[in-house]
Amino acid sequence: MIGLLARDLKLAIRAGGGFGLGLAFFLVVTVLVPFGVGPRPELLARIAPGILWLGALLACLLSLDRIFQLDFEDGSLDLLATAPIPLEGVVATKALAHWLTSGLPLTLAAPVLGVMLNLPSAGFGWLVISLLIGTPALSMIGAFGAALTVGLKRGGLLLSLLVLPLYVPTLIFGAEVARRGAEALAPGTPLLMSAGITAGAIAVLPFAAAAAIRVNLR
């Protein structure tokens, strides 16, 4: 499993769709928002949590189709499906690799970009916490969507349409945690909801994704 994780991390970086592309997209979204809504500090401070979370979510979408597609094209996915390693473990490992190359760098960059959106100082810590808890769910849901569309030509658009509705609860509760933290309100309820979504995704979706891969490989 460790070898598979190390391999996927190397492939994600070499393929050009790793953390660099996601961070660049995240930066572009953050820079363009003040041009669209105007340079009003009070307005930017109010919408900053939602904009940062939306930017991170969209940046995660950029590399979802690479989770299984490269392995499918070179035949590695067939070998992994018949290997002694459970296919559910393979799915979880690939989702972890996606989070390490997408979700984690976006989480670390979010406070820096929050300065550009005039995010209140009280919200920086809660923004990072909400992203640390919520972005693993984005990667796991994305892995499930990638398993459903593996083998389809030009399945990137279909993948986005499949996973975006499933991302909505994570986006709502994650942004609410950051917003309440920025306004010095108690973020406990949305934080627990976000953690519950992530825990449920990690517990259930590896099995669903593995079943989808088996069907697509027949």
Please state, in angstroms and rounded to a whole number, the distance separating the CA atoms of residues 14 and 25. Answer: 18
Q: Is 188 helix (H, G, I), strand (E, B) or coil?
A: helix
> What's the mean pLDDT when you consider all of the chain?
87
Q: How confident is the model at residue 15 (pLDDT cuts 50, 70, 90)?
A: low
CA distance 96 to 102: 10
Task: Enumerate residues 6+ apart whose C-beta is below 8 A from 103.
Answer: 56, 60, 131, 135, 136, 138, 139
**Which phi-psi region, left, alpha or beta, contains residue 75 (left: φ > 0; alpha: ψ -120 to 50)?**
left
Domain membership of residue 38 as a residue range: 2-217
Quick one: which H or E segment has residue 131?
helix 123-149
Q: What is the domain count for the chain?
A: 1
Residues 66 and 17 sit within 8 Å (Cβ to Cβ): yes
Assign 3-state DSSP to the chain and report helix, strand, coil percentages, each to 5: 85, 0, 15
CB-CB contact of 136 with 97 (8 Å):
no
Mean local confidence (pLDDT), 116-134: 92
Q: What pLDDT, in 10s, does the model give residues 173-218?
A: 999 999 999 998 899 999 999 999 999 999 999 999 999 988 888 7
> Does residue 156 register a pLDDT over 60?
yes
Q: Which of 64, 73, 86 is nearest to 4 (CA)?
A: 86
Whole-model pTM?
0.90
pLDDT for the residue 96? 92
96-123 burial, b at 16+ Cβ within 10 Å, e below that, comes to bbbbbbbbbbbbebbbebbeebbbbeeb
Check if the beta carbon of residue 91 is closer than 8 Å to that of residue 209: yes
Rounded percentage of the chain residues whose pLDDT exceeds 70: 94
Report pLDDT for 140.
Answer: 95
